[in-house]
Amino acid sequence: MGKNPLHTKLCDLLGIDFPIIAFTHCKDVVAAVVNAGGFAVLGEAMHTPDGIAADIKWIRSRVGDKPFGIDLVLPASAPDASTLEQLLAKIPDEHKRYAAYIKEKYDVPDPKGQQALHQWGGLTHEIARKQLDVILDERVPVFVSGLGSPAFMLKAAHERGMKVFGLIGKARQAKREIEAGVDVIIAQGYDAAGHTGPIGTFSIVPEVVAIAGDTPVVAAGGVTTGRHLAASICLGAAGVWTGTLWLASRESDNDMIIKEKLIAATADDTVYSKSVSGFAMRVLKCPWTEEWAKPEAPRVLSSPYQMLLASDYIQAANDHRRADLMFEAAGQGVSFIDSMKPAKQIVNDMVEEALSVFEEITGEAADA
């Protein structure tokens, strides 16, 4: 086969060994993946600017000069500016009664403390901007915009020697961001965990590759194995963006109950539901999602009303560690997560499997 098919332009751009990007909310996973030769991005959307600065310092102390990324959710449309009380008052009684019915049916206890939702108070333009200022001040090697276009801050980032990635769910948004000059575009398909676009990974990736020119495209959504990595390369991607893959890793700070649920789950145990937040998102099925899917359930509210309605259940499930109630965002690739492996082993297994797939296809081994 000759040339190593896993040595892509993403590897050259970032100076990494393997074109595997881990997206995680856990700093330990970031350090482990980066030190294993991959690349990792820490999701910091709900962190304060000071918290982000502390996390960056912590990561640098563990990975040295190796590159890593920080992901923020730049808003793309403006959230409502009402107070929490105003928002709560607008939730219809029918919906409150249905939430109370679920609480009683499943014996959901009260949360132990004030709900985190209420403490945060919303994510405004101003907070997003302050978070971004920290990223720029710290000259984080890679900034990833998980939603809104980062075009307005590209010049400032590039002047600081940073690279900027954009994550998109539609080809037209990819075209906009590529033309604006993002360094990498992440094409995310419907298979992914959490809030995704409506287009499947197998369709969105080559569609974006076709318009990307020299900009590396990274495939996201359902990517969990070396076979997925090989397939993504064949689709024209220069690497993969993986999230669910790390949720049950040894280093992940997820609750052990969630890790066990993820290991036991198959793709059929995930559901694309609006019942958690009012936005359609892929999560593990739980009583809350199942009850809201029933024909007798009221129509799910929009965001942030449905999130306010769900917050009592979510907080109680986590506070009391009720395995029957807890859930997590998970992609359809969850079927392939079958043990709690160290992140380094996950990277190595993925690389080894991808190379053997290419060998299977070509009949030749790749150059190391």
> Interface with other proteins by CB under 8 A: which residues?
25, 43, 45-46, 73-82, 90, 115-118, 120-126, 128-129, 146-149, 151-153, 155-156, 169-170, 172-173, 175-177, 180, 194-197, 276-281, 299-308, 311, 314, 329
CB of 296 to other proteins, least distance (A): 18
Please say which residue, 72 or 343, places its beta carbon nearer to other proteins.
72
Say if strands 270-273 and 281-284 run parallel, antiparallel, or are unpaired: antiparallel
Please say which residue, 16 or 186, places its beta carbon nearer to other proteins.
186
Rounded Cα–Cα distance for residues 62 and 189 (Å): 32
Output the CA torsion sign for 311, 316, 318, 324.
Answer: negative
- Contact (CB, 8 A) for 215 and 183: yes
- Contact (CB, 8 A) for 23 and 243: yes
CB of 229 to other proteins, least distance (A): 25
- Going along 100-199, which residue ranges are E strands? 142-145, 163-168, 184-188
Separation of CA 241 from chain center: 9
Please say which residue, 179 or 324, places its beta carbon nearer to other proteins.
179
CB of 241 to other proteins, least distance (A): 14
CB of 131 to other proteins, least distance (A): 10
CB of 111 to other proteins, least distance (A): 12
Please say which residue, 130 or 344, places its beta carbon nearer to other proteins.
130
Please say which residue, 75 or 109, places its beta carbon nearer to other proteins.
75
Element at 178 (helix H, strand E): helix 171-180
Please say which residue, 15 or 79, places its beta carbon nearer to other proteins.
79
Rounded Cα–Cα distance for residues 323 and 257 (Å): 6
Beta bridge mates, 366: 2
Question: Hey, what are 54's tokens?
Answer: 């502390």
CA-based nearest residue to 109, from 319, 364, 359 = 319
CB of 338 to other proteins, least distance (A): 25
